[in-house]
Chain A
Amino acid sequence: MTGFNLPAVLAIYHFEMARTRRTLLQSIISPVISTSLYFVVFGAAIGSRIDQIDGISYGAFIVPGLIMLSLLTHSISNASFGIFFPKFNRTIYELLSAPVSHFEVVLSYVGAAATKSLILGSIILATAALFVPLRIDHPLWMVFFFLLTAVTFSLLGFVIGIWADNFEKLQLVPLLIVTPLTFLGGSFYSINMLPPFWQAVTLFNPVVYLISGFRWSFYGVADVPVWISLAMTGAFLAVFIGIATWMLRTGYRLKN
């Protein structure tokens, strides 16, 4: 048996997806409710007082940012929990003793987490379509950004899940870093609306590039050039792949 352990990848993938299915209601209803709330608060209440941004109604403008917001947070939490939990309940012994390569482990956990956040993102997109008129100028690019972001941040989640040795740490990165960066990354505004100084500061926020690129695929307008958005996402992906590979190779926090 050399090459690729497909049965193992499928087994882990199905196991992870089954975990979601057990909490199916919660995993569908909660994003629908929270998205609706965003539209009620930002779209209807505040949006009615905000002019169009780049010729797009405010309600429609925030849709790509909202999807990115949940794509990021759910990719991270799904993947980090997926690998953290076997460590926590010690069933990880089986994975460590199985004839699976590092690549197969990453592929199955990250694949499952990315699948889940893609389903979630689609639900949010569908919910949003009920509230505002949506337009997708570059559907292929939209799907590409969608996939790339889900995979990239599922990988980050995987890395966090291995690094975390308790539940607090598991929450730490999403709560303290990712959520603030996402909110400040132009989910709800165009960075052109900021004073010049804060515009410059915002450019250090990596999430800006993700949201900008994604929004461009919808409405053809962007805060930063699209190729920079692509390059940044690719760079994240490369960095997270590097860290994950290093962790598995050294057995970091997995093996004694």
Chain B
Amino acid sequence: MATIIRINNLSKIYASGFRALNNISLDIRRGEIFALLGPNGAGKTTLISIVCGIVTPSEGSVSVGGHDIVADYRASRALIGLVPQELTTDAFETARGTVAFSRGLFGKAPNPGLIEKILRDLSLWDKRDNPIISLSGGMKRRLLIAKALSHEPQILFLDEPTAGVDVSLRRDMWQLVRRLRDSGVTVILTTHYIEEAEEMADRVAVINKGEIILVEEKAELMRKLGKKQLTLQLDPPLETLPPGLKSRALELSPDGRQLTYTYESSDEESGIVPLLEDIRQAGIRFHDLQTSQRSLEDIFVSLVKEEA
């Protein structure tokens, strides 16, 4: 897939002297859903703001669709729609008016039909003539998405799109993002909700303290780090592992009541059926078993801990 955003050795040092981004290089591919995952203050918003032209970079360069964001800002910005993290809207302007304003700002001729479609897609059509100040938080969030989509961008940045949004709306939003991706829009989202990245993203980058720790296909990431565990509750407890089982990746808890087996979920060789057979042969008895898979969340937490 072709690269649509290329970030080269990007650093940001704020006026306070704080280094918010440290030498970041990253390629975003056309048409993917890319999740930027990181704890508070990691630099996600700073990174997005630089690409969109809101924050000036200290070092490095960024190009969007082949256009440098500084030298060729018109062409690069015209490709981008941004939904900011904070709910920043006007107060007295109407919902429809503010979306039309955004479209004009991005250099597009008026298109009432398209704006109606966008507002309908985001369930805001009923509120079209209400002043923004009278909308709820979730509606404002959707309105910001409508504004970002008003000029038919090829790239959509969503800075924590589902913060403060209820569960059903979150599902709607995920669907919207998938529809956009299907229509060819590249989507970059930041999130604190790990399940969001897990559910949505094609690729995931983990960012911490201004550095990208990891960029990976989500499936690959899950495969690499997403080990499965089988836990057996033993009854009666076991004192030591029988020698015949030592070669396997088995771990016995100190009290001898729990036996844990860690394996790659995709690795057929390490299948649990033969293992269970071996355990039975060794005369070990268990009364319960469960399997678990490390979620992206566990992976993320352990990565960030490693860094610290």
Contacts and interface: CB of A to CB of B under 8 A. Distances in A.
A159 B210 CA distance: 34
B22 interface: no
Greatest chain B CB density within 10 A among A1, A15, A94, A101 is at A94
A4 to B, nearest CB: 9
A175 interface: no
A89 B101 contact: no
Contacts of A93: 49, 54, 82, 84, 88
Interface stretch (A5-13, A36-44, A135-143, A183-191): A5-13
Contact of A89 (B14, B90, B105): B90
B130 to A, nearest CB: 15
B92 A98 contact: no
Interface in B67-120: 73-75, 77-78, 80, 82, 84, 86, 88-93, 97, 100-110
Interface size grouping (class) on chain B: 35 or more
Contact of A256 (B14, B73, B106, B147): B14
Contacts of B110: 7
B74 A91 contact: no
A97 B82 contact: yes
B53 A96 contact: yes
A239 interface: no
B105 A12 contact: yes
B105 A98 contact: yes
Greatest chain A CB density within 10 A among B77, B80, B106, B108 is at B106
Contact of A97 (B15, B80, B91): B80
A143 to B, nearest CB: 30
B105 A90 contact: no
Given A11-B104, A18-B93, A1 B54 contact: no
Greatest chain B CB density within 10 A among A12, A89, A90, A93 is at A93
Q: Which 6 A-B pairs have the closest CB atoms?
A: A11-B104, A90-B88, A99-B74, A99-B77, A97-B52, A7-B104
Interface of B: 14-15, 49, 52-56, 73-75, 77-78, 80, 82, 84, 86, 88-93, 97, 100-110, 147
